Amino acid sequence: MGKRSGMTPKKKQTAFFEEAERQPWKTLCYSTAVTSYAFLQLFHSEQ
């Protein structure tokens, strides 16, 4: 948890997880939407 000097785009995932730590509710909403969308796609392909 040190200071970051200049964020380099070497790892986009690190930035994503840091953002998730700052705003957990946003990540929760996003993952829920993705999961429900995938479930709907699966459900439609079953029929």
In a domain, 32, yes or no: yes
pTM score above 0.85: no
In a domain, 24, yes or no: yes
In a domain, 29, yes or no: yes
DSSP character at residue 11: -
User: What pLDDT was estimated at residue 47?
Assistant: 67
Q: Are 27 and 20 in contact (CB under 8 A)?
A: yes
User: What pLDDT was estimated at residue 18?
Assistant: 82
Read off the pLDDT of residues 1-47 as tens digits, 9 standing for 90 and up.
455 555 555 667 788 778 778 888 888 889 999 999 999 999 888 76
User: What pLDDT was estimated at residue 23?
Assistant: 86
Q: Read off the tokens for 30.
A: 């996003």
Burial 8-42 (b: 16+ CB within 10 A, else e): eeeeeeeeeeeeeeeeeeeeeeeeeeeeeeeeeee
Number of domains in the chain: 1
In a domain, 36, yes or no: yes
